[in-house]
Amino acid sequence: MAVSVPLFPNITFDPQTGAILGAGVVENERRMGQLAPIFRDRAAARALPPDRLVYRFHCWFPVAENTPGGLFWGSTRIEPGMAGDEYFMTRGHFHARRHCGEFYFTVAGSGALVLMDEDRNTRYEPMSPQSIHYVPGGVAHRVANTGTEPLIFLACWPSEAGHDYESIEARGFSARMRQVDGRPTLVGEEPR
């Protein structure tokens, strides 16, 4: 049986801006107005302009969501900045299908990939240009920009993965990337 092979011409990545360009690429952005609740010091976050850009990400979906065996490709650019002593960061998520992993590749800037398993054990991997990271299945992931330049990274994940943001909204991560004595430090959450 003949299999039709779809062609995806001219999908490109701009390492200067962090954008993926091409037909069908979806762009999303997250600004402080909507992100303030994820930060520990919400008053400091709310004191920042609500239209302050925190991060922008592009996703290329060459196949439909939930296609078995398919792959998605994305790029994320996190602006430098802080809310209180906490670095600008992504919302973070588990994959809805917990067994699905993901690759990250750092293009520019410096940051921290914060990883938390379902027992809430949290660690982080430093991100710097050309570092490659594997997010195992069942591990929530969030990225913080711990530098003074934009942090740009690429990602590849299964089209079956889906995203579970609700679990993170409900309980957060058990530790946060905060500036302590001038250095990025993973600090465990104390009960509020």
User: Distance (Å, rounded) from C-alpha 94 to C-alpha 118?
Assistant: 9
Residue 102 is a binding residue for Zn ion (CB under 5 A): yes
Chain residues 122-141 in contact with ligand S6P, contact rule CB under 6 A: 141
Residue 158 is a binding residue for ligand S6P (CB under 6 A): no
3-state DSSP percent of the chain in helix, strand and coil, to 5: 10, 45, 45
| Residue 84 CA neighbour count, 13 Å, CB half | 16
Q: For residue 138, give every residue at least 6 positions away whose Cβ sits within 8 Å of its Cβ, in sequence order, or none.
A: 94, 98, 99, 117, 118
> Structure tokens of 103?
């690759």
> Structure tokens of 176?
């946060």
CB nearer to ligand S6P: pick between 57 and 173: 57
CB nearer to Zn ion: pick between 86 and 102: 102
Residue whose structure tokens are 């889906």: 162
Of positions 13, 57, 60, 87, contacts ligand S6P by CB under 6 A: 57
| Residue 67 CA neighbour count, 13 Å, CB half | 11
**From ligand S6P, Zn ion, none, which one binds at residue 60 (CB under 5 to 8 Å depending on kind)?**
none
Tell me the window of 13-21, 36-44, 91-99, 184-192 that interacts with ligand S6P (CB under 6 A): 91-99
User: Distance (Å, rounded) from C-alpha 135 to C-alpha 116?
Assistant: 10
Residue 88 is a binding residue for ligand S6P (CB under 6 A): no
Residue 90 is a binding residue for ligand S6P (CB under 6 A): yes
Residue 92 is a binding residue for ligand S6P (CB under 6 A): yes
Binding-site size, Zn ion (CB under 5 A): 1
Kindly state the smallest distance separating residue 176's Cβ from Zn ion, in Å. 19
Residue 76 is a binding residue for ligand S6P (CB under 6 A): yes
CB nearer to ligand S6P: pick between 156 and 181: 156
CB nearer to Zn ion: pick between 19 and 139: 139
Q: For residue 185, give every residue at least 6 positions away whose Cβ sits within 8 Å of its Cβ, in sequence order, or none.
A: 177, 178, 179
User: Distance (Å, rounded) from C-alpha 108 to C-alpha 148?
Assistant: 11
Contacting positions for ligand S6P (CB under 6 A): 57, 74, 76, 90-93, 102, 141, 155, 157
Contacting positions for Zn ion (CB under 5 A): 102
